[in-house]
Amino acid sequence: MHDLLFILFSLLIVVFGVLVVAGKNPVNSAMFLVPLMICVGGLFVLLGAYFLAAIQILVYAGAVIVVFLFIIMLLDMDVEKGRRINSFAAVAGIGSSGATLGLLVLALSRSDLGAAGGGESALQGETIPLGKLLFTDYVLPFEILSVLLLVAMVGVILLSKKKLQ
Amino acid sequence: MNNLTLIIAIPFLAALGMLFLPRREKDLAQQVAMLATGATALLAIALFVKFETGLPGFQFESKIPFAKALGIWFHFGVDGVNVGLILMGAIVGFAATCVSFDEIRDRQKEFYILLLVMIGGILGSFASMDIFMFFFFHEFALVPTFIMIGVWGRGVDKNYATFKITLYLVVGSMISLAGLIALYLQAPEPRTFNMVELAQIFRDNPIAFGQQNLIFPLLMFGFGILVSLWPFHTWAPLGYGSAPTATAMMHAGVIKKFGLYGLIRIAVPMCPEGAQNWLPLLAFLCLGNILYCGFVAMKQKDLNLLIGNSSVAHMGFVFLGIASLTLIGVTGAVLVMVAHGLLAALTFGLSGYLYGQTRTLDMDRMGGYLNQLPFIGAAMVMAMMAGCGLPGFANFAGEAMVFFGAWKAYPFVTTLAVWGALVIGAVYMLRAIRNILHGEENADNKVSLNDAADWRKRAPFALLLATLLVFGFAPRLLTSKIQPSAKAIVDAANGIETRLVEVAQLDAPAKGGETDLNDVE
Amino acid sequence: MNAGLTILEIAVVALGLGVMLLDLWTPTERKRELGLYAAVVVLGILGASFVLDLSGEAFGGMYVLDGMAMFFKRLTLFAMVVVLVMSVEVGDQLKSGIAEYYSLTLFAGAGMMFAASANNLAMLFVSLELITVTFYILVSAQRSQARSLEAGVKYLIIGALSSAVMVYGIALVFGIAGDLTFAGLAAKSAAHSGSLLFLLGVFFILLGLGFKVSSVPFQLWAPDVYQGGITPTSAFLAVGSKAAGFVLMLRLLFVAFPSIAQDWATLLAAISGITILYGNLGAIPQRNLKRLMGYSSIAHGGYLMMGVAAVSAAGQSATMVYLGGYTFTALAAFAVIAIVAKTVEGEDISSLAGLHRRSPVLALAMTLALISLTGLPPMAGFFGKFMLLKSVIHAAEANTAYYWLIAAAVFGVVVSVYYYFNVIRTIFFVEGNNDDAPIEISRPLSFSLFACVAGMLVLGLYPDAVVSFAIEAVGALG
Amino acid sequence: MDIGVEAYLLVSMLLFCIGMAGVLVRRNLLIVYMSLELMLNAANIALVALSRFNDNLNGQVMVFFIITVAAAEVAVGLALIVALYRRHKTAQVNELNSLKL
Amino acid sequence: MDLHSLIWIAFLLPLAAAVAIALFTRGNRQASAGLSIGAITLSFILTAAYSVVTALNQGGAKASEITWLSVNGSAPGDALNIGLGILLDPLSLMMMMVVTGVGMLIHIYSRGYMKDDPGYSRYFACLSLFTFSMMGIVLATNFVQMFIFWELVGVSSYLLIGFWFGRPAAADAGKKAFITNRIGDFGFLLGILLVWSAFGEVSFSVIADDIAHGGNKLVGMGKFGCLPLATLAGLLIFCGAVGKSAQFPLHVWLPDAMEGPTPVSALIHAATMVAAGVYMLCRTIFIFDDCALLYIAAIGGFTALLAALMAVQQDDIKRILAYSTLSQLGYMVMAVGLNGHGEGATAAMYHLTTHAGFKALLFLGAGSVICATHHEQNIWRMGGLRDRMPSTYWTFIVGTAALMGLPPFSGFYSKDSILSAAAPWINGHGNVILFVIALIVAFLTPFYMTRLVCVAFHGGARTDHARHAKESPGVMTKPLWILAFPAVFAGWAGIDAIFADHFGAHAHYDHWYSYIVGPMEHAPFVAAMGTGLALLGWYMASLLYKDAETDPLPEKLGALGFVTTLMRRRFFFDEIYQRVFVAAHDAFASVANWFDRWIIAGLLVRGSHGTTELVGRVVRMLQTGNLQTYAAFSILGAVALVIVFLIA
């Protein structure tokens, strides 16, 4: 079951990923992003990270993509003008990402991570320990993130408010 | 503050103080600068007189920390090698300040600040007993050179010249800096930049030959570029030709000696094996200076280019003296350095005066000026004669010593160098006199000239000439001071040779003939 | 937990919040002054950093306050002061909210200060993101200008890309070593130094930091962003962001992955050398001052990398000292550019023409800054370059690849003379065709300029204390 | 078939590179931005999988931070893109080239 | 105070005068002249006094030195000690007498000759400087000192020859003289270096002792090409003399040097500068091996012949005298080369001494003529001056007779001693060829001198200037009369005995009258030959040039007329040198200049600058402005770094 779900989610992730990237217009891409995020959440569930799966779906599918769609609608841009890509960019982009993939896979193939994953882990239903960790060891980055969110708020206001002094 | 630190501090303090001088007082800047450089020159003369002849070590030492953790100190002191250079630098500095009065009529304040920084820097460099400081102070001159040529310079190539001279100097400095650092790193921890201590360390534990063979050429070519070693010389005539008089005087006269001083003080004694390996090349390249640049000088139409090339040519004698690795040669090289410093300042000062009168230095458009310019003309004849190695001027004594020193090691090079000194030098110097001072006045370019009339205008030239003559008549004033210090350097440089010879004799005891060399130890 | 160690950062963040609050009650015409008050407070915090005896670890080793951290925090605080004063000066260009600009500057500064103390990959990530995200906004803050927005977007996309790469690197490193703390990684990295996946992870993190310090291969954004951004932002980018990148790089390489750093000497030297060449060569044809400074900043990133590439305590201390000098220098240069650009309406080099008449003080400050950037005595830049060169030459005895780095550095200095001196030439030799009206400099800015020049001179003429401090700080790094 | 951590990593790598290709190839800024989200998500997958593999939660904490940061980045980035669109009337990457050389 | 301090004073007085004139009395003509004349007069008196006193005391050689330079390194041979001092022996004292004596008269004569010149003070300053330099050579104790003053003589002659610097010819002549001398000095200095490297010393007495006791160290030092270094050293040192004494091939400067004021010509080309070469050879005679001496003799003989031939066809009165000087110097150099056991050197010095007197007389006489004819120098534009300028004429005749070598004038004795030295049956080192050459010269000398006298003084005046010439004032004629005395009587004073003593040669003086008849006594054939040839020359010339209006010689020679063209054009040496040496230097200079401008400064410097800038522009092309390009480059760069450094 686990394996089957993994294969399903993985395939979907890759397929939707390609669709997002290859989408004709931003709306399409954004729409393909939703199931992708859900599938990623599914993988998190498979890995036992339920809390993160929830956040993933809430934040990404619920918030981020909504904002994307909002903006797309706001700006009223649907189709890219002219050619979507130019050939040089395509060659360079696909070439370099392909090369990166090659490197990563090569590295992966050379590594011996063993077959530890998949089995029963001690990390089951980890929300509480995760919360503890977040508010003890990682409280400082957590607090810094709050500043970061504040910055984001301020920034958005600064960048989008109509009135200029 | 002892005498020596004052010599270095006064120009800087004066420059600093001048920043706050009101801009309106145009002549005040020059007066302050004259006062400062005059005081420096007097102190330098006092230093020279008070210097105890015959002692090999440093005198008038003083030190302030700069970066103790790296072993860098503001550490000043004089020995026989640099005492003459400091005297020369201070005198040239004063003369340069004096001659600028007429020439610089715009932005005086800035000019004299830059000039003072230049003077203070190079004196600091000569006086430094710390290799880092030695380099550090030298670089003070770079930006002033650039700005001075750019703002107050002359000629159509001014812009190109500023960049060319600056870039060359930076290339030279960076290469030599790399060499100096590499040298410093050869000493064991805790490291020091103190040249005396380093010399001692390297004498006791010589640097591995491979390293020496790498460091020495860095220093040789780095310093060489700064001294306009052939074929890295083309910046010099061009730069001097475009520079305002004072800059040319300081640069050709004093600042250029930095590289030579570095070779003598640092490169040769600390990398003796490297020196043995590379100096023959230097001896060969010096012919490029002496002969080639002499020939080039013969072809110049512009007086400043002629003097510039001749100044490059004269550097060849110093290189030859150093390459000889004999006490005679090295002492002579130092003597030539001092003499040429005074001479270059004198010739550039005179040509600057001439330019101020005629607004041209094209020798084809001059002629017969000696009638109108008895003082300047006479001084110029004397300067040109000194330039072609006339006895009575310090240059002759130095060059002769260089020839004596180099003769045994490089007879053919010396032969050609003698030709360069006696014949080629005479050809272009006399040609200059003939075209400028002698002959009939150029009909197309009749000008009325004013001779240097009052003491203020005559003083710099008279001072430089007098110093040249004093050291020319009594070179022992200098050589007796140079000798003990130079001896330590030459012995350090030759120590390895002695050792090699001994080893060779151990290897081949049958060859008992040349035992004379054993006396060296 | 020892949270008190973060007092300096807390103070800066609080100040940022305070400025935002005060903004509400401040009349529009006086909002600009807030920056000055903020600068004064930051100056106070800087002073406090000398008074308070702060050192140790906090948050379970997440946060470390050692000499090096303190060194960088002080640099950042100083940079903030100058940047704030500069932004007061150019405030009229910030029509979309000056107070927000101040507080964002403060937040970014706080991020840099956190970064200086980061001792954990999570901390590294978060503090870097605080800096990066804030800079997205700071770069595009002048949103009435198209080029500011363009620069912002470029910074955004490349920055996000580099963040993504870095995050992936963190993932890989974490995956192999199973730890995020630097101390833990240090213990395990040697064992994994043969694993390509682990090395790729480390390299990816390095790439993310490389973006911050604008080193090859993530250097291309710098000229565009420097040119497009508002001048104080560019200054802060050049100084603060670079400093944060380097402090993290030093910690990461020498605390977390010391054995890998040893193996990577050649790689680091190559990055350093190529960066130096790229920055210096690219700067030759530039006419725009800020763009020139962008290239120059790339070049200096390369020089700073030399100290890292030397993989030695000497190199690290050299990087620190050089960064100190660079901070003063770049700030001074940008401050002059800001003032001049304001009065002449142009950022072309030719706008400096005749500066020596219009304002001898600015001309002097700019000249000294350019000398320092070139690396000539008696300015800080020289001593820094000297230390860098020294460390690399020392390293060259063991690894001949460094000779190329030395050659590149020397060549870079020579080339840099060419374009920096061209600016000096413009200041002094070229007579401006615009009016010769003297340029007024506000008191705070002249104070800042003076402080920068003094800093450059002190580091160049009497670096004893700083050098000792840097050597000591590096010694604590292990 | 035994699904190990390598499989998860392989998926994440694929997603990472798909995202990277999007960033490098697409001209629409919004799609570029979405592609960047793909890259971050790829990292998330890897982190969660490796967190499990390593048997500790630090990786998950990291993912939490990444999601938060991503949200903040998206907010700021989109605001920036909107501001750009307002001025430029375009969100095409290739039209942003007034700053060059 | 030691007695030799007198000579120190005598030595330094002219310098003091020169300095004082330069610094203080430039504006005061009379004071300048007074200082200069006073100084040299005093020098003369002091020298004379010292000579008399030491001769009374029978003092041998004395030296007094101060150290000028002293360097002593620790390596063997790394030592150089140079003194400046005075070496007092008969040789130097006699020479001092000549220099100061003749010089003094010329100084006095100059007062009249230069009286209207605006550069009066400068003239006397230069003259004093010149005198000082010359005395430095004479008194030198070592090679380097000699070289130093050698150079100083060169420069002061430059100043004097180019005294009328406004005239291009004069300025060029000065320059030519200096540079030609410099070429000789080049060899001289190399010779000194070679000698020093062998002996480790430069002092005359030390080296002479060394050779006397230990043999010539140069002999063991090998060869340069096919020349043994010992010979080479001698020849190099001889180069100095070739330059100063204007021997072939460096003779070209001397005739041009006549552009200087006539007293200067008298001073430089009679008594001092050109004599310095011969003096130097005699002073350093110990250094020359037989082979070197042979070369020297050959060069001297060739010069004597060449110059005499050239003199035959010159029209300028001073140039005739100049070539005659050349020829006589060649004689002396030849004599030195035929040294033997000191006979040659004795003869050379003897001739030098007498020649100094009568040649000065001739030059001053010529000057008197030139002055009187308003600076006319062409003898064909004079004529009939005998009656209008009797003092000048008669003293000139005395000088001419001495130069011709007619007994009992001084020239006869000294020339005879040279001829004897050349005659192989008298001097073992003599040489038949050179003897023949000497005889030819002995014939040519009276020929051209008679031509000069006939054309310039006899016959009728050819121009107005000549017609209205007046006798010169007393300040000029008195020195002429004074100089006429030694021209007549110097041969009777036994001067050669002093030199012979010094050089260890045998002097043939047995009776009190042998001073006068000595030559006829010990080598009658030679003396007769000399006298006979002199008379023959005189006779032929007076036949040919009596009442001639133009030079009849080219016609008389018929088919050989081209020879006269060669003589007149000085055998085209100037042209050859111009083509070969000057052009070669010029070509080198042009090549170097071209190379400097186009290859070094152009191709290399501008090229590397341009390349760097070009690379900068190329690098900048990466900066397309497109952020995706940036991203792609970044990723590609990263991949490349990984592949190169992490995988490879």
CA distance E16 to chain C (A): 50
> Does A73 contact E at CB distance below 8 Å?
no
In A23-162, where does DSSP find H-type helix?
26-46, 50-55, 65-75, 87-110, 127-135, 139-160
Cβ–Cβ of C217/E634 closer than 8 Å? yes
Cβ–Cβ of B475/E69 closer than 8 Å? yes
Q: Which residues of B touch C413 (CB under 8 A)?
A: 170, 174
Of E71, E167, E190, the CB nearest to B331: E71
Of A145, A152, A164, the CB nearest to C126: A145
Assess contact for C349 and C430: CB atoms under 8 A. no
Lowest-confidence pick of A130-144, B423-437, B492-506, E133-147: B492-506
Q: How many residues does chain B have?
A: 521
Share of chain E above pLDDT 90, in %: 3
Tokens of C142: 């002048």
pLDDT for res B389? 86
Count CA atoms within 13 Å of residue E359 on its CB side. Answer: 34
Residue E228 has pLDDT above 90, yes or no: no
pLDDT for res C272? 93
CB pairs under 8 A between A and E: 25
Residue E521 has pLDDT above 70, yes or no: no
Distance in angstroms (rounded) separating the CA atoms of residues B317 and B290 = 7
Tokens of A140: 């400082």
∠ CA E83-E85-E91, rounded to 5°: 125
Residue B356 has pLDDT above 80, yes or no: yes
pLDDT for res B360? 81
pLDDT for res E532? 84
DSSP code string of E444-480? HHHHHHHHHHHHHHSS---SHHHHT--PPPHHHHHHH
Cβ–Cβ of A96/E643 closer than 8 Å? no
Q: Which residues contact C315 (CB under 8 A, 6 or more apart)?
A: C306, C307, C308, C309, C388, C391, C392, C395
Distance in angstroms (rounded) separating the CA atoms of residues E242 and E232 = 14
Nearest alpha-carbon partner for C141 in D79, D91, D71: D79
Assess contact for E460 and E381: CB atoms under 8 A. no
DSSP code string of C197-212? HHHHHHHHHHHHHHHH
> Does D37 contact A at CB distance below 8 Å?
yes
Band (A78; pLDDT cuts 50, 70, 90): low
- Number of neighbouring beta carbons within 10 Å of residue E146: 27
Backbone torsion region of residue A114, taken as left when φ is above 0, otherwise alpha when ψ lies between -120 and 50, otherwise beta? left
Nearest alpha-carbon partner for C275 in C237, C248, C312, C308: C308
> Does A68 contact D at CB distance below 8 Å?
yes
Q: In this predicted model, what pLDDT tens digit does every residue of B453-492 receive, in sequence order?
A: 788 888 889 999 999 999 998 898 888 888 888 888 888 8
Torsion of CA C31, C35, C37, C43, to 10 degrees: 180
Q: In this predicted model, what pLDDT tens digit does every residue of E540-565 receive, in sequence order?
A: 888 877 777 777 777 777 666 677 77
Give the pairing of strands E223-224 and E227-228: antiparallel
CA distance C218 to chain E (A): 5
Within its chain, how far is the Cα of C267 from the centroid? 22
Chain A CA closest to residue C2? A140
pLDDT for res B502? 42
In B300-420, where does DSSP find H-type helix?
303-324, 327-358, 374-387, 394-407, 411-419
Q: Which residues of E touch C147 (CB under 8 A)?
A: none
CB pairs under 8 A between A and D: 250
Nearest alpha-carbon partner for E273 in E175, E109, E149, E139: E149
Q: In this predicted model, what pLDDT tens digit does every residue of E238-277 receive, in sequence order?
A: 988 888 888 888 888 888 888 888 888 888 877 788 888 8
Distance in angstroms (rounded) separating the CA atoms of residues B412 and B166 = 35
* 75-134 in chain A: CB under 8 A from chain D: 75, 77, 80-81, 84-86, 89-90, 92-94, 96-98, 100-101, 104-105, 108, 113-118, 121-123, 126, 129-130, 133-134
Residues of chain C with pLDDT under 50: none
Orientation angle between helical segments C380-396 and C313-344, nearest 10 degrees: 150
pLDDT for res E620? 85
Band (D20; pLDDT cuts 50, 70, 90): very high
pLDDT for res A12? 92
The stretch B297-305 carries a mean pLDDT of 87
Residue in the structure block whose two tokens are 């400067």: E253
The stretch D38-64 carries a mean pLDDT of 88
Of D43, D58, D100, the CB nearest to C167: D43
Q: Which chains touch C (3 or more CB pairs under 8 A)?
A: A, B, D, E
Q: Which residues contact B269 (CB under 8 A, 6 or more apart)?
A: B199, B202, B203, B488, B489, B492, B493
Band (E59; pLDDT cuts 50, 70, 90): low
Distance in angstroms (rounded) separating the CA atoms of residues E145 and E159 = 21
Count CA atoms within 13 Å of residue D1 on its CB side. Answer: 10
Host H or E run for residue E82: strand E79-88
pLDDT for res A116? 46
Distance in angstroms (rounded) separating the CA atoms of residues E422 and E337 = 9
Q: Which chains touch B (3 or more CB pairs under 8 A)?
A: C, E
Q: Which residues of E touch B434 (CB under 8 A)?
A: 171-172, 175
Lowest-confidence pick of B75-89, B249-263, B438-452, E77-91: B438-452
Q: Which of E617, E621, E624, E626 has the most D C-beta neighbours within 10 Å, making it the best mutation to test the interface with D?
A: E626
CA distance E317 to chain B (A): 24
Of B119 and C61, more confident: B119
Band (B506; pLDDT cuts 50, 70, 90): very low
Q: Which of A140, A146, A150 has the most C C-beta neighbours within 10 Å, making it the best mutation to test the interface with C?
A: A140
Assess contact for E413 and E405: CB atoms under 8 A. no
Of D11, D19, D90, the CB nearest to A10: D11
Question: Is chain D in touch with chain A: ≥3 Cβ pairs within 8 A?
Answer: yes
The stretch A30-35 carries a mean pLDDT of 90
In B235-271, where does DSSP find H-type helix?
235-242, 245-248, 257-262, 268-270
Nearest alpha-carbon partner for B178 in B139, B151, B217, B152: B217
Residue-wise over E389-413: b if at least 16 C-beta within 10 A, else e? bebbbbbbbbbbbbbbbbbebbbbb
> Does A153 contact C at CB distance below 8 Å?
no
Chain E CA closest to residue A91? E632
Nearest alpha-carbon partner for B375 in B472, B442, B460, B471: B460
Band (B513; pLDDT cuts 50, 70, 90): very low
Amino acid, single-letter form, for residue E598? W
Residue E324 has pLDDT above 80, yes or no: yes
Can you tell me the ipTM of this complex?
0.89
- Number of neighbouring beta carbons within 10 Å of residue E565: 12
Cβ–Cβ of E629/A103 closer than 8 Å? no
Distance in angstroms (rounded) separating the CA atoms of residues B373 and B452 = 8
Assess contact for E398 and E361: CB atoms under 8 A. yes
> Does E621 contact A at CB distance below 8 Å?
no
Cβ–Cβ of E627/D93 closer than 8 Å? yes
Amino acid, single-letter form, for residue C11? A
pLDDT for res D68? 92
Assess contact for A139 and C106: CB atoms under 8 A. no
Amino acid, single-letter form, for residue B19? L
DSSP letter for C353, please: T
In the three-class reduction of DSSP (H, G, I as helix; E, B as strand; rest coil), residue E66 is classed as strand
Host H or E run for residue E631: helix E627-641
| Burial label, B404 (beta-carbon count in 10 A; 0-12, 13-18, 19+) | buried
In the three-class reduction of DSSP (H, G, I as helix; E, B as strand; rest coil), residue B369 is classed as coil
Q: Which of D3, D39, D54, D62 has the most A C-beta neighbours within 10 Å, making it the best mutation to test the interface with A?
A: D3
pLDDT for res A122? 54
Residues pairing with E224 in the sheet: E227
Distance in angstroms (rounded) separating the CA atoms of residues A90 and E274 = 92
In the three-class reduction of DSSP (H, G, I as helix; E, B as strand; rest coil), residue B326 is classed as coil
- Number of neighbouring beta carbons within 10 Å of residue E640: 13
Of A93, A101, A130, the CB nearest to D61: A130
Residues pairing with B128 in the sheet: B76
Amino acid, single-letter form, for residue A53? A
Cβ–Cβ of A152/C133 closer than 8 Å? yes
Q: Which residues of C touch E633 (CB under 8 A)?
A: 217, 220
CA distance A165 to chain D (A): 16
pLDDT for res B512? 38
Within its chain, how far is the Cα of A160 from the centroid? 25
Residue B438 has pLDDT above 90, yes or no: no
Of D46, D88, D101, the CB nearest to C171: D46
pLDDT for res E275? 85
Tokens of E21: 């004139």
> Does E628 contact D at CB distance below 8 Å?
yes
Distance in angstroms (rounded) separating the CA atoms of residues E439 and E245 = 21
Give the pairing of strands E79-88 and E62-72: antiparallel
Residue B39 has pLDDT above 60, yes or no: yes
- Number of neighbouring beta carbons within 10 Å of residue E465: 15
Cβ–Cβ of C417/B110 closer than 8 Å? no
Q: Which residues of E touch B520 (CB under 8 A)?
A: 74-76
pLDDT for res C328? 94
> Does D96 contact A at CB distance below 8 Å?
no
Distance in angstroms (rounded) separating the CA atoms of residues E394 and E489 = 16
Chain D CA closest to residue A136? D61
Cβ–Cβ of A151/C20 closer than 8 Å? no
Q: In this predicted model, what pLDDT tens digit does every residue of B82-107 receive, in sequence order?
A: 899 999 999 999 999 988 888 888 88
Cβ–Cβ of B520/E186 closer than 8 Å? no
Q: Which of A86, A94, A96 has the most E C-beta neighbours within 10 Å, making it the best mutation to test the interface with E?
A: A96
The predicted model scores a pTM of 0.90
Residues pairing with E70 in the sheet: E81
Chain B CA closest to residue E165? B438
The stretch E595-624 carries a mean pLDDT of 84
Give the pairing of strands B59-67 and E223-224: unpaired
